[in-house]
Structure formats: C-alpha cells, structure tokens
Amino acid sequence: MKRTDARSARALIAAAAVLPLVMTGCSAGDTGAGDETVVLDFAWWGDTSRAERYEEAVALFEEQNPGVEVRTNFAAWGDYWSARNTEAASGSLPDVIQMDLAYLAEYGQSGRIAPLDEHVGEQIDTSALPDGLVESTQLDGQTFAIPTSTNTLATIVNTDLLGELGVEVPEGDLTWDEYDAFLADVAEAGAGEDPVVHGSVDYTQLLWLFQIWLGQQGKSLFEDGALGFTKDDLAQWWGRAAPLHEDGSFLPAERLDQLEGIDAIGAKETASEISWDNFLVRFSEGADGANLAMLPLPADDPEQRGLFLKPSLMLSMGAGSEHPEEAAALIDFITNDPEVGEVFGISRGVPASSTALEGFEPVGVDAQVAEYEAALEPQLTGSAPPPVAGFGTVETAFVRINGDLAHEAVSLDDAVDQFFTEAEAALAAGR
C-alpha cells in the first residue's frame, strides 16, 4: 500500500475511534509463536490532523514489522486522560500511550507504566536525543517515558491583522505591562471591526505560563513535592486579568466558550496569543494564510526569562503490556525514524531525535518554530517543574478555577483559596 493510501485508510479508522475506548493490550498470539500476529494498542490525545500523521507513521511501522499489528485510538485531552484513568484502574492500559509531564509521576510511581531502562540500548535508541532530555522523564533514576519532541511558549501575533488595524508589531523585549498595553491598543483599534478584534485570549489561564512567570521571580510551581509559591503570587498573576477583561483587551470568556474547538487567533478575533510554539502550525492552517510571527515572551528582567524547553510529547509503555519488546520498538520508531520525522514535521514540536530531523528540511512555519527554539538557547534560564504525583489534577483545577474567575463566578481571593485547597489536597494524596 502506498503511504498516501495508508494514511487515508487509517485516518478513516482513527476518525471512527475518537471516543475513548478501553484497550486491553491483548494479542492474537505470542511473540515468536509461528506466524501469529502480535497486536499492540496505541493511544494518544490530539486532533484529527495529529491522528492522520500518527496513522501514517503506524502504517510505516507495520510495513517494516509485518508480524505486528497496531490498533490505534485517540481523543481530546480531557477525554483521553479519563479513558486512561479508567483503564489504569483495571490494569488494562494500552501497550503504548502518549504521556505528558503533568501525569508522569502519577503513572510512574503507581506502577501504571513500565520503566523502560531495560529496553534503552536494545529496542530503544536514545543516543540521538539531546543531553539531559531523557533525564527529565526519570523518576528515582528510572526512565518512564521517551521524549519525541520539544516545545516552549511563544508570543504569536498576526502581523497581517495588525497591519489592517494600524497597530505596530512589537519590537524588542517587552515587560508584562508593555505587553498588556499592546493588547489594549489592539482592542481599541479592533473595537469597530466585524468580528470585534481583541488583543488576546486570557493568558493567565495557562499554568505553564504561570510557571515561566514564577521562574522570572526565582520560584517554581513545585518544591519538595509541595506548592513552591504563595497565595500572594497567584493573586498577583490572576489579578492581571480583571482590567484586561474590562477594557476588552482579552476576548470575553463567554465568546471563548462559543469558540470551543476554534482558535481565536485563527478566526481573527484576537491578534495575539501566548501559546506553545508548535501550535504555530495549527494557527497558520486556521488563519487563511495570514502571516504569523513569534516574539519572545514578556519579561520584566531580560536576564531572567524563566524559559525552558519542555518535552512536548512523550511515549510510555503500559505496565501490563504482554509484548514489551514490540511496544518498545514502536516507541523507538515513532521517536527516531526519519520518515516519521517527515510525516510530523514540527506539528508535535521540534523533533527531539537528530535522526528524525534528518527526515526533512524545515520550511515555512516549520522553519519558524525551529529557528525560534534555536534562538532561545542562550535565554533558557529556567527549568520545567519537577514531575510530582497530582500534577495533572493541579493543572485541571488551575484552568477550571481560572475560568470561573473569568466568568466572574468567584472573587479573586476565593479563587486563590479554592485553588490552594484543591492543589494541596491533590499533592498530599500523591505522596
């Protein structure tokens, strides 16, 4: 089957599998048992664009491993983790799952996913990964995930839309107050447009951006398994939002609800968004060919930006996999194969593996993302928060309570108190 045919056929299968399914990790036969086929289950979160790419990569793997069949399943972020938690409770996680730092400790320390160290150097080659990247996926010296790509946050602006509004593209370093003033200029210029153009969505909803802001203050989300910041810190961060909602700098929370599944910057209802740099690919696809630029994040002290490269996507193995060698081989293939690198480009982040990067020459928005991360190297003064059990629950609470605050359903003080109560309980339960 040609690669394009395989992609189309498997994408149709994937589209039918959007709803989370409970996978069992069973197989049609034993490894090496005659001509019987080994069956692996593989699950990830993402949209249909990511699913199409994964399906093409899986088709390539099956072509090169004719004794292995891979059953695939994907869902949106929230549904994905709900399904994985259900499977974990019954010991039936898929053989290979996409993993995030927010859930690494919870799944690793509870024995839900398997250490991969015995496969490193055998089925899994980590020699092409940057120094220190694999260490970020380790717990107590054991490796529980393999990073397939990296990303970091960026200020993304629609330069074409700014030109139409008569607002200059920011140049040089901006403080947080200067960035807010830029958003206000956009909102003022865009008030008479149809649709109305706002400066940005509410950036205070991003927990990872809060981590970067904390890093600019010399702090971190977590310290010794507990919260590493104070209520005053969170009140200062979340408190930035109220005046920006009042003057229209932020897209109204109610409108953001209506746009669920549609990027506001792609719909030209905002001219700026702080988001993951690899989202530039998706934003560009939705912005009708508009020129998008990536700018450094705001920082009050350019010498202390709090920036770091995050493993954007990782792959882990379910602890109950009956075929760990084949599962490890799939992890290696998705991480390192040059043709897989070509399939994904920069859509999942900059490929972590140098061999995956050999599969393509970044052009267009892919090149923008790669060049952005390369230019940041001297400014990476921060680090990702340490993986702790309960991280995922903390992130969910952060986004939900921030949403209530944006809808004026709760006061700032009550929102901060509620977050600390829920976060501290989640971290305590994970110890």
Residue at 130: amino acid letter: P
Tell me which of 378 and 103 has the higher pLDDT: 103
Condensed to tens digits (0 to 9), the pLDDT of residues 218-243 reads: 999 999 999 999 999 999 999 999 99
pLDDT, residue 149, reads: 93
For residue 355, name the pLDDT band (cuts at 50, 70, 90): very high
pLDDT at 249: 98
Quote the pLDDT of residue 284.
86
Confidence of residue 272 (pLDDT cuts 50, 70, 90): very high
Q: For the segment 358-402, what is each residue's pLDDT rounded down to a tens digit?
A: 988 888 888 999 899 888 888 887 778 878 889 999 999 999 999
Q: What is the mean pLDDT of residues 337-364?
A: 92
Percent of the chain past pLDDT 70, that is, above it, reads 92
pLDDT at 260: 83
- Percent residues over pLDDT 90 in the chain: 72
Q: Is 26 a residue whose pLDDT tops 70?
A: no
Buried b (16+ CB within 10 A) or exposed e, 340-368: bbbbbbbbbbbbbbebbbebbebeebbeb
pLDDT in tens, 292-322: 999 999 999 988 999 888 888 999 999 999 9
pLDDT of residue 35: 67
Q: Provide the pLDDT for residue 18.
A: 38
Task: List helix spans (H) across 16-125.
Answer: 48-64, 77-89, 101-109
Q: What is the DSSP string of 160-177?
A: HHHHHHT-PPP-S---HH
**Average pLDDT of span 171-187:** 96
Nearest by Cα to 152 from 286, 399, 340, 346: 346
Per DSSP, 270 falls in state B
Q: Which residues pair with 270 in a beta bridge?
A: 198
pLDDT at 257 over 90: yes
Tell me: pLDDT of 126 over 90: yes
Residue 31, pLDDT above cutoff 60? no
User: Which residue in this structure is represented by tokens 């700018």?
Assistant: 295
Confidence band for 6, pLDDT divided at 50, 70 and 90: very low
Tell me the mean pLDDT in the region 131-148: 89
Q: From CA 252, how far away is CA 245, in angstroms rounded?
A: 7
Within 13 Å, how many C-alpha atoms sit on residue 424's CB side? 10
